[in-house]
């Protein structure tokens, strides 16, 4: 059994200058003010429309992010609309070679390979219980496959902690909405664990679009 930490990768090649210029070009159509476009006008224009609440203008650019997290987190992710998702399928992926699980932030276990001999006394009782539950679910899954069950049948014994991979695409307006919800104090700690670093990364690359949200939740 393999235990791993959650992670993310921004798949879209972020060219902040190009993104802002495209948004400005689209937005100035509303005012027929294309003649005011200069080499340095995009940042000021995008900042203006964002602060005025003209968020439809920033829908013209989209970003794709690949998240590796547990299945429970993706159940929250896919509740967002106006997005595209491509997720690792437990119906068709066969984990007979070993199941991977995501370590929750409140479980103090290092990433790596584990077996029943790994349930050592230095772990608290609750952490031992979690680790054993993961080992039991992997064992049950593999045994059901040996009994002739298909992956889509055997998956019924796999828990929320199962590692999954999901590619999530949304326009920038929707990403702002997502980060506002999923980086807040009320957000589940496991979704914040991947969403806030992604927000921080995007803010470093195109701050005019994400700085206000980042400053609120950092």
| pLDDT value at residue 161 | 98
| pLDDT value at residue 10 | 98
Nearest CA to 190 among 123, 129, 120, 104?
104
Architecture of the domain whose range is 1-11+63-218: 2-Layer Sandwich (3.30)
Q: What are phi and psi of 136, to 5 degrees?
A: -65, -40
| pLDDT value at residue 132 | 94
Q: How far apart are CA 218 and CA 212, in angstroms?
A: 10
Sole residue written with tokens 């159509």:
29
| pLDDT value at residue 52 | 92
Q: Is the pTM of the predicted complex or chain greater than 0.75?
A: yes
| pLDDT value at residue 159 | 98
Distance of CA 89 to the CA centre of its chain: 16
Distance of CA 98 to the CA centre of its chain: 23
| pLDDT value at residue 118 | 80
Domain spans of the chain? 1-11+63-218
pLDDT (tens digit per residue) in 164-215: 999 999 999 999 999 999 999 999 999 999 999 999 999 999 999 999 999 9
Extract the tokens encoding 169.
């695409």
| pLDDT value at residue 25 | 96
Neighbours of 135 (CB within 10 A): 18
| pLDDT value at residue 123 | 86
| pLDDT value at residue 97 | 96
Q: How far apart are CA 69 and CA 61, in angstroms?
A: 25
Under DSSP, the state recorded for 193 is H
| pLDDT value at residue 208 | 97
Spans of the chain below 70 pLDDT: none
């Amino acid at each position: 059994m393999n235990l791993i930490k959650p992670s993310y990768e921004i798949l879209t090649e972020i060219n902040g200058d190009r993104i802002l210029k495209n948004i400005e070009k689209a937005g100035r159509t509303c005012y027929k003010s294309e003649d005011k476009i200069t080499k340095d006008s995009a940042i000021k224009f995008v900042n203006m429309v964002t602060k005025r609440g003209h968020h439809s203008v920033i829908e013209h650019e989209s970003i794709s992010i690949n998240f590796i997290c547990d299945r429970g987190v993706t159940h929250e992710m896919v509740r967002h609309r106006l997005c595209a998702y491509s997720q690792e399928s437990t119906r068709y992926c066969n984990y007979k070679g070993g199941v991977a699980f995501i370590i929750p932030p409140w479980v103090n276990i290092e990433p790596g390979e584990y077996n029943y001999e790994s349930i050592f006394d230095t772990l608290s009782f609750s952490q031992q219980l979690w680790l054993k539950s993961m080992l039991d679910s992997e064992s049950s899954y593999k045994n059901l496959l040996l009994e002739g069950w298909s992956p889509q049948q055997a998956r019924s014994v796999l828990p929320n902690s199962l590692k999954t991979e999901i590619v999530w695409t949304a326009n920038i307006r929707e990403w702002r909405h997502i980060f506002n919800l999923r980086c807040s104090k009320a957000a589940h700690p496991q979704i914040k664990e991947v969403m806030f670093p992604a927000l921080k990364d995007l803010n470093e690359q195109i701050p005019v679009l994400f700085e206000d949200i980042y400053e609120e939740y950092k």
